[in-house]
A = this chain, B = another copy of it.
């Protein structure tokens, strides 16, 4: 039996607006879900301030220990958009104007007041970079080595992810199946642990909730092995029923 390679990615969320609490991040969940479909596991996320040294530090650590590194934020037209500079510094390369990016922006802003200094910033890339298509708002994302520099605004990020779909090498997609029960998590911790231990390729997550005055939980079994997933699901369901709980397939 061969051990399949597990493909991993890290994400750096760049921006004072997340750390100040002003903006609720939506890109972590969006990128995590997208990566699952590509057969890549999101292994770690860091949220860092708009600070060259901190971004460069995170870039160099995370790109070395993962197959891919994504960043969101900091590639817009304003003075606090420094992701390109930080990544170039981390790689030890120059920042250059990408001619295709410049042409895209010239065309996009032709009917929107023309290119100015701020807008031209969005054509800047670390030397050697390729572009990621932005179907929403002109300014492209940036691909260099194993890194993908994406917009911070979630619907623009979504468009860039869409453009990348199917282009990254990944492993078997992570499959999941959900069971739900009106059980206090603390009553059935042993059942979960036993089911997980008996199925090595599976992990079981437990997600408690409190609704209409009653506690319950959904249990998500994850595996890249369809057969293991199914036997683990059956064992978990049997365990929960043996503990006296009715089980809802697909979750509550």
List chain A positions with a Cβ less than 8 A from chain B. 13, 16-26, 28-36, 41-49, 54, 76-80, 109, 112-113, 116-119, 121-122, 137, 153, 174, 176, 184-190, 192-193, 196, 203-208, 210, 220, 222
Contact = CB atoms under 8 A, between A and B. Distances in A.
B17 A119 contact: no
Given A22-B220, A77-B185, A112-B184, A43 B36 contact: no
A43 B187 CA distance: 38
Given A21-B35, A78-B189, A112-B184, 18 more contacts: A16-B203, A17-B205, A17-B220, A20-B174, A20-B205, A22-B220, A23-B29, A25-B28, A44-B46, A44-B49, A45-B46, A45-B47, A46-B46, A113-B184, A113-B187, A116-B187, A118-B190, A137-B210
A189 B121 contact: yes
Nearest to A26: B24
Given A26-B24, A113-B184, A153-B208, A189 B118 contact: yes
Contact of A23 (B43, B186, B207): B207
A35 B31 CA distance: 27
A16 to B, nearest CB: 6
B185 A76 contact: yes
Contacts of A113: 184, 187
